[in-house]
């Protein structure tokens, strides 16, 4: 009998993980061996359990999905990570792939797409949901901002997105489990890099990138 593809599910919502597990249980070739609700857990489980594929959301408290991908890939350059996210904007797809993910699909995709993506990645190929490939890049006239944001670290990108969405430094610190001063420093660095003074200007840039 062919050995099953071993999966770790990473999402901070237990109900969502349960839905993923039920969906994947219909496949005879896939087995969910563990679940994690935070990036820190996912890294530990990856090291201990050595799964074949990690199916991961991007939006999580603590490390966040992008930083988690980056750290797993640092530990294992052959790691196979599939992002399964509500975000469909091209900037998220690009950053996930740049961090080391092998595939990206949205939670609005057809149920069979998840299984298809896992099997494709397991075979050593990449997988991007078809609709995401066709997303046009509407930011070409803002190539300077695009280049700057592309250079953001995963943590800087998370803070940038949260600031643009109107979250306070205190709230971001709580979400990311970091100190207030650390987030305040990130905010200062981000504004300096983008050469803006106000959160309104940040929000306008984020809106241009489809992050709002």
Q: Angle 199-208/143-150 helices, nearest 10 degrees? A: 100
CATH of domain 140-208: 1.10.10.10
| 3-state secondary structure (DSSP) of residue 152 | coil
Question: What's the angle, vertex CA 102, arms to CA 98 and CA 106, rounded to 5?
Answer: 95
Q: Where, residue-wise, is CATH 3.40.50.2300 in the chain?
A: 5-133
pLDDT at 39: 92
pLDDT at 70: 92
CA distance 102 to 83: 8
CB 54 within 8 A of CB 46: yes
CB 114 within 8 A of CB 23: yes
Q: Which strands make up the sheet holding 53-56, listed edge to edge?
A: 30-36, 5-10, 53-56, 81-85, 103-106, 127-128
Total-model pTM: 0.67
pLDDT at 71: 94
pLDDT at 138: 41
Q: Where, residue-wise, is CATH 1.10.10.10 in the chain?
A: 140-208
For domain 5-133, the CATH superfamily is Response regulator (3.40.50.2300)
| 3-state secondary structure (DSSP) of residue 81 | strand
> pLDDT digit of tens for each residue in the chain (212 aa)?
468 999 999 999 999 899 889 888 888 899 999 999 999 999 999 999 999 999 999 988 888 899 999 999 999 999 999 999 988 887 888 889 888 999 999 988 888 889 999 999 998 888 988 877 654 444 334 567 778 888 888 889 999 988 888 888 899 999 888 899 899 999 889 988 888 877 777 887 887 777 76
CB 119 within 8 A of CB 5: yes
Q: Which residues pair with 9 in a beta bridge?
A: 35, 55
pLDDT at 142: 55
Place of tokens 């490939």: 133
| 3-state secondary structure (DSSP) of residue 13 | coil
Phi, psi of 136, rounded to the nearest 5 degrees: -80, 150
């Amino acid at each position: 009998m062919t050995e099953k593809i071993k999966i770790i599910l990473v999402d901070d919502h237990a109900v969502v993980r349960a839905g993923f597990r039920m969906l994947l249980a219909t496949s005879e070739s896939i087995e969910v061996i563990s679940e994690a609700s935070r990036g820190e857990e996912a890294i530990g489980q990856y090291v201990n359990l050595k799964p074949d594929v990690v199916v991961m959301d991007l939006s999580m408290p603590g490390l966040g999905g992008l930083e988690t991908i980056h750290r797993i890939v640092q530990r294992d350059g052959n790691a196979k990570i599939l992002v399964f996210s509500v975000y469909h904007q091209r900037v998220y797809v690009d950053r996930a792939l740049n961090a080391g993910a092998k595939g990206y699909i949205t939670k609005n995709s057809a149920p069979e797409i998840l299984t298809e993506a896992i099997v494709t990645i397991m075979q050593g190929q990449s997988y991007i949901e078809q609709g995401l490939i066709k997303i046009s890049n509407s930011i070409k006239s803002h190539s300077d901002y695009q280049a700057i944001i592309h250079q953001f670290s995963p943590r800087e990108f998370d803070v940038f997105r949260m600031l643009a969405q109107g979250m306070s430094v205190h709230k971001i610190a709580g979400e990311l489990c970091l100190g207030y001063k650390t987030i305040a420093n990130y905010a200062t660095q981000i504004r300096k890099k983008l050469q803006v003074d106000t959160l309104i200007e940040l929000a306008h840039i984020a809106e241009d990138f489809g992050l709002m």
